C-alpha cells in the first residue's frame, strides 16, 4: 500500500550533507529489488556488503539519486559511473530515521504513538491496547509481530519493528488512511539498530526483562542496556513500567530523570495501577483494579496472571493518554483474546487445548502457571521445542520450566532452521531430571496428535512456542504449519470417532 504523493529536492532533503542538487525525489528505497522510479536509493554499509554494489541496479530501476554510506571520494567515483547524483552520507550528521521522518513530514507528531517494549507480553499488550483505543472511538493501527495495519486488515510483518524508512512510511500511510493513533512493539533489535529514530512516542510501556536474544546481544547486561536506550536516546513522553519485574533495576537506574513515569503491580497496591483482587475460573477471570484513586471491576475471558499484568499495563497506557477511569473500564471489559496468545482450541468431548507463543524459559513457566491456575481437575500436558540457530543456553532452562510446571511433557521441533532437529532435542533433553518420562517426537504434527490423543476432557494441553506462526522453518525453507489448525483437525477427528 502506498497512497502517498511526496516530492522533495535533494537540497531540501539533505541540507546537513551540504547537498546542492535540485533533483526531485518522490520516494526512499533501501532495497534495489523494490526501488521505484523517482526514488532516492540509500546504499547502507552492512556486515557483508557496502551497499554500493546494489546502486547500479537501483538506478536501472529508476532511482534518480544515491545516498552512499562512504567517503566523498567514493561518492564522486560512483557518480561518474552511474551518471546520477551520489551524495556521501555522513550518518553522524543525518541519521536514517531523521531523514525518513523528514521525508514523510513527521507523521509520528500527528499521531498518538504508543510503544511497548520488554521480553514477554509486548504482542498481547499491543493488541489489547489497539482494541481498547478502537473501542474508545480512536482509529488505531498496529505495528508488531502479528502484522502491520488496522486489526481488520493486517499485513504480514517480517520484523517485530520495521526498519526506519518502512516505519515512517507506514506511519504516514496510516495517517493518510485516517489513523489517529498507532501502537507498536519495540524490539531490542530495533532499539539497538536505530530503527525507531525520529519517532516521537507519546507513551511507552515496559513489560519485563528475562533471558532472550543473547544470540544477538551476547550478554543479559547488553540486552538490558538496549532496552534502556529506548528511554534515554529517543523521543519518549510518558512511561508505564512494571514495578513487579525483578530485573528492572538495571533499566531504571540508567533511565534519565524528569520523565512522567507511573508503575503497575500485581502485588504492590501503592502503585498508581494495581491489582486489588482476582478470582480465576476455567473460562477466565474476575478482577478488581485500582487506577489512581479509583477502582473498577473487570470480567475477562483471558487466561493467566501474565494477562493480568498485560491488562494493568494497558490500563496505565490509557491513563497516561488522558482517558478517565470509567472509559478505561468499559474498554478493557470488551477485550478479546489475541491469536496465538493463550488461544483456546476446544471441543465438547476433547481436552482444552491452548496455543501460546511462549518460547523463553520465563514465558513457558508463566504460561504453565496460568494453565495450572485455571485447571479445576485433570492434568496439565505441555508440548514444546527449541528454535534452531538461537541461544542454545536456554534449551536446558526450557526443559526445566516444562518439567517443573506440567504433569507430562512432549518434546518436539520448533523452528529447527539450519540446525539438526535431533541435535536440538538432545540438547534440550539434557535439561530434564527425568528424561525417560518425556515423550519425544521430532515431527511436530505427529507430536500434537499424540499429546491431544493422550489427554482427557478434564485435561489442559498447552502447545507452546509457535503461537500465531503459520509456518515451520526447516533447512532455510518456511513450510506451511499452524499449531491451531493441527489441533483443531485432531479435535474434530476425535469428535467424529
Q: How many H-runs (helices) and E-runs (strands) does the chain carry?
A: 17, 25
227 pLDDT higher than 80: no
Q: How far apart are CA 129 and CA 184, in angstroms?
A: 10
Q: For residue 325, what are the CA distances in angstroms to 109, 146, 317, 318, 400? A: 26, 28, 12, 9, 41
Task: Give the other-Cβ count within 10 Å of 261's Cβ.
Answer: 18
What is the pLDDT averaged over residues 225-235? 76
C-alpha grid cell, residue 95: 541519521
Give the pLDDT score at 194: 84
CA distance 56 to 15: 25
**Contacts for 447 with CB less than 8 Å, ≥ 6 apart:** 383, 410, 411, 412, 439, 441
Mean pLDDT in residue range 164-186:
97
Q: How far apart are CA 149 and CA 133, in angstroms?
A: 14
468: left (phi over 0), alpha (psi -120 to 50) or beta: alpha
CA dist 74 and 71 (Å) reads 5
Non-local CB neighbours of 238 within 8 Å, separated by 6+ positions: 202, 203, 204, 259, 260, 261, 262, 320
Residue in the block written with cell 481488520: 152
Share above pLDDT 70 across residues of the chain, in percent, rounded to a whole number? 94
**222 pLDDT higher than 90:** no
Q: 32 forms bridges with which residues in the sheet? A: none
**In the numeric block, which cell numbers belong to residue 363?**
514465558
Distances in Å between the alpha carbon of 441 and those of 37, 422, 424, 438?
51, 10, 12, 10
Question: Hey, which residues does 291 pair with through a beta bridge?
Answer: 273, 294
For residue 142, give the nearest of 104, 174, 108, 165 by alpha carbon.
174
Mean pLDDT of the region 443-457 = 97
Model confidence at 3, pLDDT cuts 50, 70, 90, reads low
Domains of the chain: 8-94 (3.40.1390.10), 106-332 (3.40.1190.10), 343-496 (3.90.190.20)
Cell numbers linked to 405: 510446571
Q: Would you say 455 and 461 are in contact if contact means Cβ atoms under 8 Å apart?
A: yes
Phi-psi region of 300 (alpha: psi -120 to 50; beta: other; left: phi over 0): beta
Beta strands at 343-345 and 294-300: parallel, antiparallel or unpaired? unpaired
Residue with cell 483437525: 489
Residue 213, pLDDT above cutoff 60: no
Dihedral sign for Cα 424, 430, 434, 435, please.
Answer: positive
Give the pLDDT band (50/70/90) at residue 198.
very high
Residue 40 has pLDDT above 70, yes or no: yes
- Nearest CA to 123 among 146, 149, 155, 152? 146
d(CA 153, CA 97) in angstroms, rounded, equals: 26
What's the CA gap between 293 and 273, in Å, rounded? 9
Question: What percent of the chain clears pLDDT 90, i.e. is strictly above it?
Answer: 74
Do residues 226 and 190 touch, judged by C-beta distance below 8 A?
no
**Secondary structure (DSSP) of 183-201:** EEE--HHHHHTTTTTT-EE
The confidence score (pLDDT) of residue 217 equals: 44
User: What integer is the mean pLDDT of 431-446?
Assistant: 98
User: Closest Cα to residue 350, out of 443, 481, 468, 454?
Assistant: 454
The CA distance from 56 to 401, in Å, is 52
Gap between the Cα atoms of 399 and 405, Å rounded: 10
Q: What are phi and psi of 333, to 5 degrees?
A: -70, -15
Query: Looking at residues 177-196, what average pLDDT do you find?
Result: 91
Do residues 65 and 10 touch, judged by C-beta distance below 8 A? yes
Lowest-confidence segment of 154-158, 246-250, 424-428 by average pLDDT: 246-250
Condensed to tens digits (0 to 9), the pLDDT of residues 357-390 reads 999 998 899 999 999 988 888 999 999 999 999 9
C-alpha cell at 362: 520465563
Place of cell 492434568: 379
What nine digits make up the cell of 163? 526498519
What pTM was computed for the model? 0.81
Residue 220 in 3-state DSSP? helix
Amino acid at each position: 500500500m502506498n497512497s502517498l504523493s511526496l516530492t522533495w529536492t535533494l537540497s531540501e532533503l539533505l541540507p546537513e550533507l551540504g547537498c546542492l542538487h535540485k533533483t526531485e525525489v518522490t520516494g526512499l528505497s533501501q532495497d534495489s529489488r523494490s526501488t521505484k522510479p523517482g526514488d532516492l536509493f540509500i546504499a547502507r554499509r552492512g556486515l557483508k556488503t557496502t551497499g554500493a554494489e546494489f546502486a547500479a541496479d537501483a538506478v536501472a530501476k529508476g532511482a534518480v539519486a544515491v545516498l552512499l554510506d562512504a567517503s566523498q571520494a567514493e561518492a564522486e567515483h560512483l557518480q561518474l559511473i552511474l551518471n546520477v547524483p551520489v551524495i556521501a552520507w555522513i550518518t553522524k550528521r543525518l541519521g536514517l530515521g531523521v531523514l525518513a521522518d523528514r521525508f514523510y513530514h513527521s507523521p509520528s507528531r500527528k499521531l498518538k504513538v504508543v510503544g511497548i517494549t520488554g521480553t514477554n507480553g509486548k504482542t498481547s499488550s499491543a493488541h489489547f491496547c489497539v482494541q481498547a483505543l478502537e473501542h474508545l472511538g480512536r482509529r488505531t493501527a498496529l505495528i508488531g509481530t502479528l502484522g502491520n495495519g488496522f486489526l481488520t486488515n493486517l499485513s504480514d510483518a517480517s520484523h517485530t519493528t520495521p526498519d526506519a524508512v518502512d516505519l515512517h512510511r507506514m506511519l504516514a500511510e496510516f495517517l493518510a488512511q485516517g489513523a489517529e493513533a498507532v501502537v507498536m512493539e519495540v524490539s531490542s533489535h530495533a532499539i539497538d539498530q536505530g530503527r525507531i529514530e525520529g519517532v516521537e512516542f507519546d507513551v511507552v510501556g515496559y513489560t519485563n526483562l528475562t533471558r532472550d536474544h543473547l544470540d544477538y546481544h551476547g550478554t543479559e547486561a547488553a540486552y538490558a542496556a538496549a532496552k534502556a536506550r529506548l528511554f534515554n536516546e529517543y523521543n519518549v513522553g510518558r512511561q508505564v513500567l512494571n514495578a513487579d519485574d525483578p530485573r528492572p533495576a538495571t533499566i531504571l537506574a540508567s533511565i534519565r530523570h524528569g520523565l512522567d513515569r507511573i508503575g503497575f503491580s500485581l502485588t504492590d497496591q501503592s502503585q498508581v495501577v494495581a491489582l486489588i483482587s482476582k478470582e480465576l475460573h476455567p473460562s477466565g477471570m474476575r478482577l478488581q483494579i485500582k487506577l489512581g484513586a479509583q477502582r473498577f471491576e473487570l470480567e475477562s475471558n483471558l487466561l493467566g496472571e501474565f494477562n493480568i499484568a498485560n491488562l494493568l499495563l494497558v490500563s496505565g497506557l490509557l491513563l497516561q493518554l488522558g482517558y478517565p477511569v470509567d472509559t478505561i473500564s468499559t474498554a478493557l471489559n470488551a477485550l478479546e483474546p489475541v491469536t496465538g496468545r493463550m488461544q483456546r482450541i476446544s471441543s465438547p468431548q476433547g481436552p482444552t487445548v491452548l496455543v501460546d507463543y511462549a518460547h523463553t524459559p520465563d514465558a513457558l513457566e508463566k504460561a504453565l502457571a496460568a494453565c495450572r491456575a485455571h485447571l479445576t481437575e485433570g492434568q496439565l500436558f505441555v508440548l514444546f521445542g527449541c528454535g534452531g540457530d538461537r541461544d542454545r543456553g536456554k534449551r536446558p532452562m526450557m526443559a526445566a520450566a516444562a518439567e517443573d510446571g506440567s504433569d507430562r511433557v512432549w518434546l518436539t521441533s520448533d523452528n529447527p532452521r539450519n540446525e539438526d532437529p535431533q541435535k536440538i532435542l538432545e540438547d534440550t533433553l539434557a535439561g530434564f531430571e527425568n528424561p525417560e518420562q518425556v515423550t519425544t517426537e521430532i515431527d511436530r504434527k505427529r507430536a500434537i496428535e499424540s499429546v491431544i490423543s493422550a489427554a482427557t476432557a478434564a485435561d489442559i494441553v498447552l502447545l507452546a512456542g509457535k503461537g500465531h506462526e503459520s509456518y515451520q522453518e526447516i533447512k532455510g525453507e518456511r513450510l506451511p504449519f499452524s499449531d491451531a489448525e493441527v489441533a483443531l483437525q485432531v479435535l474434530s477427528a476425535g469428535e467424529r470417532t
